Structure 1
Amino acid sequence: MEALFHGIILAFGLILPLGVQNVFVFNQGATHKRFSGALPAIMTAGVCDTLLIYLAVAGVSILVFSFEWIKMILFMVGFLFLTYMGWVMWKNSNDVGNQERGTSMSAKRQVMFAASVSLLNPHAIMDTIGVIGTSSLVYEGYEKWVFTISCICVSWVWFFTLAMIGRRIGKLDSQGSFLKRLNQVSAIIVWAMAFYMGYQIFSLI
């Protein structure tokens, strides 16, 4: 039971703060006519978190950050992709107010963006390694599996909940004014993350 509650509390504490991943999943729930339209974002975010948590507990992901050139490539790809996606989200905010929501992000773009903010965020990866990976060291065998699965389950439940809340708010926002502002805020957060990645690139040179 200790491993179960430890995993739940720890994972919830890590995933709760506002971040690009959370804002994006919420945004997709709000901008699609049907909840199923946001499933690509939810599923991708869940799968990516599952992978990162497993690698952190297994200790494999620590090897990635043992090489400076891997970190450099990760930061560069993340900077370029997030800069582009921030522009896409800002551009879509100009049309999000129409009733048909014709500018909802396609499934392919949802998958690409959700994967990028999950896997191309070195600091999120380091948090996973430093907190979840380190915390898992106190457990062995069955208890380690319970700890790992509880962390993973929290991520999945959280992403589905975020999208459902977003859908509810999207229904109430008939004029689309809130969704427009949300898209703009999302774009700014994404650009801020890209800018910080750019700063990290220069610090590594």
Structure 2
Amino acid sequence: MWEASIHGFLLALGLILPLGAQNLFIFTQGAYQTRLIRALPSVITAAVCDTLMVALAVLGISVVVFKFVWLQTMLFGMGSVFLLYMGWAIWNRGPSNGQAGEAKLYSARKQVVLAVSASLLNPHAILDMIAVIGMNSLRYSGMEKVAFTGAVISVSWLWFIGLAVAGRMLGRLDPTGSWMRTINKCSAVLIWGTVLYMGWQLLR
């Protein structure tokens, strides 16, 4: 069981480390919200979505995506449109200082909607779950599979909490918002680059 747990932990950590729309959204919520607890809706929603995708991948249900080309095409198309919007929103987002900034803060409901979109409309994340997590889970059965799955899910929860905390710390160290503006611009370019790469893959 320990081997399965360590395998799941390291595998999930390798998949979740690269910056993407989901990670960037959680990080910026930690930075922009007036209190860390106000970023919990996005953290919990993203973690629950990852938990669901991991469970579906391990159970083999999500492999249906590979069987239908039209479903993959629709997934990439919807994901690309959402990521374009997310990149635009991040590019134009400024630091939340004072009452004017607080008016721009995302409500709990909007955080949930955007976190679900960043998680479930991200084709790369879904395909990684199916191709990597799902396939690696086939090595195990019984309690070893449970240990593997639990380790993968634990990484998601701990990682998103850590991202929100890191965002909060940067937000407090950056009262003028200059760092966050730079991070926002770089994040938007990164997301748009992902869209271009997805479009190239779709055309192939």
Name the counterpart of 2:122. 121
The aligned length equals 201
Task: Determine the C-alpha separation between the residues in 2 that align with 1:126 and 1:5.
Answer: 22
In structure 1, the residue matched to 2:97 is 98
Percent identical across equivalent pairs? 50
The Cα shift of 1:127 comes to 1.6
Counterparts of 1:102-181 in structure 2, within 5 Å, are 102=102, 103-181=104-182
CA distance in 1, matches of 2:180, 2:109: 21
Alpha-carbon distance, 1:97 to partner: 5.7
Unaligned runs of at least 5 residues, structure 2: none
Which residue does the alignment assign to 1:51? 52
| Pair 1:185 & 2:186 matched | yes
Q: Does 1:32 align with 2:30?
A: no
For 1:129 and 1:51, the matched residues in 2 are separated by: 12
Computed over aligned residues only, the root mean square deviation of the Cα atoms, in angstroms, reads 1.7
Query: Retained in 1: the 8 A contact 2:21–2:86?
Result: no
Whole-Å separation in 1 of the counterparts to 2:153 and 2:177: 33
Deviation string, structure 1 residues 37-61 (Cα, Å, up to 9, x no partner)? 2112111110111011111111111
Q: Tell whether the 8 Å contact from 1:97 to 1:175 is kept in structure 2 after alignment.
A: no
Give the gaps of 5 or more residues in structure 1.
none
Q: Distance in 1 between matches of 2:133 and 2:33?
A: 33
Q: Provide TM-score, normalisation by structure 2.
A: 0.90
Deviation at 1:174, TM superposition (A): 0.9
1:89-138 CA-to-partner distances (Å, cap 9, x unmatched) read: 22223xx2634432223333322322222222222222212221111111
TM-score normalized with structure 1 length = 0.90
